[in-house]
A and B are shown apart, each in its own frame.
Chain A
């Protein structure tokens, strides 16, 4: 017994406002994008004939095809870096740090920047990366280079550096959650049975944290694929990925092309999420 009866009409009606809001703000707009991507003609009109021209034009352009490949490669790189780094940090925080206060302090230091503006954090990387930036000055001060190197600002290296600092927490958080659920007795049992540390990790700990790893990878994947702000801030106008293309098309009043890119982006994300769901059942996480 609780303040709400199971399967009562009240429960149903309480859900209606939130459901309606999400339908109007997310589901209907997504369907509209799909619809507009098939519009022919030039007017912005619901009476536009439905054609495939927008897609054939997009897929016929080699530059755009390259952009899709580059975006996927860039995202995969970030997933790998953030995944390994995030797992190491999660493992250290949960398993290696014994002092509860120290663990809380480190965890807060890890998580607090995540709650501040991602835009500001991306901008904060700019003074680091320029030819006159902190990194170049430090490298020159150490005598490692004698001329400023230009690989950082307006480059994919610089974008990746900033994105690693932005998204590692997303790869790490779910792993922390899964690691914290593993009873210590499990490891002790394995050790008692003379399993070497490597075997304990790869055969027991890692498989148990796999759902967390996958969720983390999905989060990094979704965020990097959709991140246009870091790319625009650090890449200047020199680098563009798929999400920036939507922005460019929209600002150039090419609504149909923007819709096509959006649909492709959504399709990529959907495939990614479905593939991840095949590996693990996300619903089990909450249980």
Chain B
């Protein structure tokens, strides 16, 4: 893992402005560290993975690599929205348990790339918005609008996704026959 893309580096925080890719979700603006973004793709056919949570849309073939796709709206508990021409998939490189993985994130649309000096970023407040606060690394104001900076490593942590998925699936299926409690070994 190289230092420049590890978000926790204090030295990097002090001086060097970082670039972020901002995107829209509902009416809120979010952003992720641009060094984590491998590419931006339009929505395409995904192969669903059986017995996984609804926000795991499936898996795509990215030049021979199998990349799982997560719908951020559904992950955050927002109502699913039909995918349209503006729906995009951010392909992100995630550091997870010492390994690098590639995952896709479905968002409503990409807005732009912005450069933020560390002193423009304020720490996340303790709030209960549309988003779980633990994924937020900071807040910034851009063109009079609040920008929520997300920690993509936390957001796309497999163990966490798995656990959340289990809870969601269980909730959806309480009425139906017992779900196979897929093991995550």
Whether chain B is bound by chain A comes out as no
